[in-house]
Structure 1
Amino acid sequence: MKWMTTTAIAAISVMSFAGAASAAGELNIYNWGDYTSPELIKKFEEQFDVKVTVTDYDSNDTALAKVRAGGHGFDIVVPSANYIPIWVKEDLLLEARPDQMENFKNVDPRWVDVDWDPGRHYSVPWQWGLTGIGVNTKFYKGDVNTSAIFLDPPEELVGKINVAPEMNDVLYATIKYFGGDWCTTDKEVLMKVRDKLVEAKAKWLAMDYSVTDKLPTGDYAGVYYWNGAIMRSRLQNPEVKFGYPKEGYPVFMDSVAILKDAKNVDNAKAFMNFIMIPENAAMISNFAKYANGITGSEAFMVPEMKDAPELVIPAEFESAGEFLKSCEPEVLQLYTRIWTEVQK
């Protein structure tokens, strides 16, 4: 982008979006469940005269398998950062060049030249957060800042725990629990990880994608899950408490990308540009309760987002977080074998 003049960039923006606002049509979004603001979709539909359909998935692997199979009919997908290199390598994403779009100037510099999509040729930020512990303190009042909540659960929580059905998040926490490093191939560590997860699973109630309503009601007493969803649970019931696993927790970013075989490319590009407007990015965060990566969106945030304990990481736990990077294919094969055993 550095070699392009401001005039050239402006010209591309005009060509890309001049007709989008008046072009009726469709847009099919494939996104994580309960993660898309209805208010945002309504605003986009009205502004662009486009009918939007949102289809949910519950894990990165589910989304990847569905698109790999073909015949899906989706235009947009929202993979996590550690999966985007896989999508790109398999030629599943369109190089849509969001870095040349009008509103790209609003992307927080922290999220521009990222490892998984250098310079943002394929994707734009949707939301980012971390995976931590949620406990309904009606059932348990002890330490919540540990992965032991789901790996060596206290008696009060046995049979009442839900764990996110996302391989990398679960394996990350378990590897760190045993003092290992992410993407390790150390056989001794991985055997401990496998054995612990198989043992622990017998003490869980579910590996369910949805917790927002079940944690506050007590259907689940403890969860290993994403911070935004746990915040939504706490807003329903103040007895819900969030914890940062001191052994280590994964940090993630999910980004919007256009599929290579998308049928509604112009509408998909318009949506990309649309969500980089601060007010619109705030709608995404206000609904799902995660940070979004768009500068200026804070001004449009609802009050409860400002100092939420699920979003403001205490200094003592900052160093325990690590951005979840992509592992080499041979490492992922090892992890997939462990995950398959755990899911039996």
Structure 2
Amino acid sequence: MKWVRRLAAISVIMACSAESVLAAGQLNLYNWGNYTSPELIKKFEERYDVTVTVTEYDSNDTALAKIRQGGHGYDMVVPSANVLNVWIDEGLLLESRPDQMTNFKNVDSRWVDVPFDAGRHYSVPWLTGTTGVFVNNSVYNGDPNTSAIFLDPPPELADKLIVVPEMADIMYLAIRYAGGEACTTDLTILKKVRDILAAAKPKWLAVDYGNIDQLVKGDFAGGANWSGPVFRARQQNPNLVYGFPKEGYPIWMDNLAILKDAKNVENAKLFMNFVMQPENAALNSAFAHSANGIKGSEEFMPADMRNAPEVNIPEEYRAAGRFNVACSPEAQALYTKIWTGLLK
């Protein structure tokens, strides 16, 4: 028994020593805008004496283009599930084996053997949520649970809508609204989608991410957006209502990964293991008002998140949601053609 205790003590000392060797230095995180908890960063910096720099991007396309160019200086990135396989296939990510890290046991089992990173050899969950619609019910008090809110808007909402410029999400919503399935290459469906989007766009005030303040102030009466930002805005403006389109909506997950050409690999691995700790994952959730894939994090979240519909999808709307996965190159090319034509 004494031998077992001594061995355990030696293991702890070695683990602490390893952390101290890895501590200190820099870490450069490339992440979505307004999507990283300052409290999480401060806690990590103080624990490991690592200075973290966060640089923000506005879309998966922007991030991928930047990293492909090289010479970026970033260590970590947070790609969405529907594009993560592209990062892996192009050799842009380090096979960091988070599945062998201490805190991997905290990852919810449904987010382990995922199609975009089977067994989690490259990435860990960052945040997850849905893409749906929202309305300000002081302007419109009809049913918000339909993509018609932005694809065939009622008169009250016309010219007062904002639509996020994220091709994968908006194409998903439009395809399902047109009666098609995700990742379809059916040209009949896609022509219908093109026409629906072309007719709807003149009724949009902006194709932009906007910001929380604009939603709170009522600069927009509705639109297509992610669950997290709408929840954050609703806390300040209770007239905002998030809707789950009955025609179908995507469930997304963003994932933390280490870049193949990272300069601070060991610090990046520390951070990856750090965010899999439940209380740390909860800091991110509390900031972005989105769920995460870490078991036990719920008990550390603010009370108002536990029953929020934006975080916990109501039972009656769950069947319409599907996980947003990568489409074939053929489908991607067709969608890009429609999308670029729409934005001209």
TM-score scaled by structure 2?
A: 0.94
Kindly indicate whether the alpha-carbon contact (under 8 Å) linking 2:133 and 2:223 is maintained by their aligned counterparts in 1.
yes
DSSP 3-state at the match of 1:291: coil
Count residues in correspondence.
334
Provide closer, same or farther for how the CA distance between residues 327 and 22 of structure 1 changes in structure 2, counting only shifts above 3 A.
closer
Specify the alignment match of 2:68 in structure 1.
Answer: 68
**1:103-118 alignment runs, 5 A limit:** 103-118=103-118
Aligned to 1:119: 119
Residue deviations 1:6-46, cap 9 Å, x none?
x9xxx9xx689814576211111111111100000010111
**Aligned residue type for 2:211:** V
Secondary structure of 2:212's partner? coil
Instruction: Give me the identity figure in percent.
Output: 62
- In structure 2, the partner of 1:97 is 97
CA distance in 1, matches of 2:20, 2:28: 16
Q: Distance in 2 between matches of 1:121 and 1:72?
A: 23
Deviations 1:168-203 (A, max 9, x none): 100000000011011111111101111211221111
The residue correspondences of 1:121-270 to structure 2 (distance < 5 A) are: 121-270=121-270
Alignment correspondent of 2:286: 286
Q: Which letter does structure 2 place at the counterpart of 1:188?
A: T
Amino acid at match of 2:56: D
State the Cα distance separating 1:303 from its structure 2 match: 0.5
The answer on 1:50 being equivalent to 2:36 is no
What residue identity is the alignment partner of 2:297?
A: S
- 2:328 is the alignment partner of 1:323: no
The structure-2 alpha-carbon separation of the partners of 1:98 and 1:17, relative to structure 1 and needing over 3 Å to count, comes to farther
* 1:257-284 superposed Cα distances (whole Å, 9 cap, x missing partner): 0000111111110000000000000000
Letter in 2 for 1:202: P
Give the equivalent residue in structure 2 for 1:299. Answer: 299
Change (3 A) 1:187 1:149: same
Structure 1 SS opposite 2:86: helix
Question: Residues 35-66 of structure 1: CA distance to partner in whole angstroms, max 9, x if unpaired?
Answer: 10000001011111111111111111111111
- Contact kept, 8 Å, 1:136 with 1:216, in 2: the verdict is no
The separation in 2 between residues aligned to 1:64 and 1:301, in whole angstroms, is 31
Using the alignment, how far apart are the partners of 1:209 and 1:94 within structure 2?
Answer: 30
Question: How far apart are 1:157 and its partner, in Å?
Answer: 1.0
Which of the two has higher C-alpha Rg? 2
Q: Report the CA distance between 1:325 and its aligned residue.
A: 1.0
CA distance in 2, matches of 1:72, 1:134: 36
Partner of 1:18: 18
Q: Which amino acid aligns with 2:55?
A: T
Shift of residue 137 of structure 1? Answer: 1.2
Question: Which residue of 2 is the match for residue 4 of structure 1?
Answer: none
| Partner in structure 1 of residue 4 of structure 2 | none
Structure 1 Cα separation of the partners of residues 241 and 16 of structure 2: 46
Whether 1:85 and 2:96 are equivalent positions in the alignment is: no
Q: Distance in 2 between matches of 1:305 and 1:316?
A: 19
Q: Distance in 2 between matches of 1:86 and 1:20?
A: 35
Would you say the 8 A contact 1:20–1:270 is kept in 2?
A: no
Residue 39 (structure 1) aligns with: 39
Contact 1:21 1:47 in 2 (8 A): no
Q: 8 Å contact 2:185–2:330 — kept in the other structure? A: no
Matched residue SS, 2:82: coil
Change (3 A) 1:17 1:230: farther
Contact 1:20 1:267 in 2 (8 A): no
CA distance in 2, matches of 1:293, 1:17: 29
**Which secondary structure does the structure 2 equivalent of 1:205 belong to?**
strand
- The aligned amino acid for 1:319 is A
State whether residues 158 and 203 of structure 1, in contact with CA within 8 Å, keep that contact through their aligned partners in structure 2: yes
Whether contact under 8 Å (2:22, 2:267) holds in the other structure is no
Deviation at 1:96, TM superposition (A): 0.3
In 1, Cα distance between equivalents of 2:323 and 2:16: 33
In structure 2, what is the Cα distance between the partners aligned to 1:309 and 1:17? 44
1-side partners of 2:16 and 2:68: how far apart? Answer: 28
Residue pair 2:22, 2:266 contacting (<8 A) in 1 also: no
Cα offset, 1:304, TM superposition: 0.6
> Once superposed, what is the RMSD of the aligned Cα atoms?
1.7
Structure 2: runs of 5+ lacking an equivalent: 1-6
**SS in structure 2 opposite 1:135?**
strand
Question: Normalising by structure 1, what TM-score?
Answer: 0.94
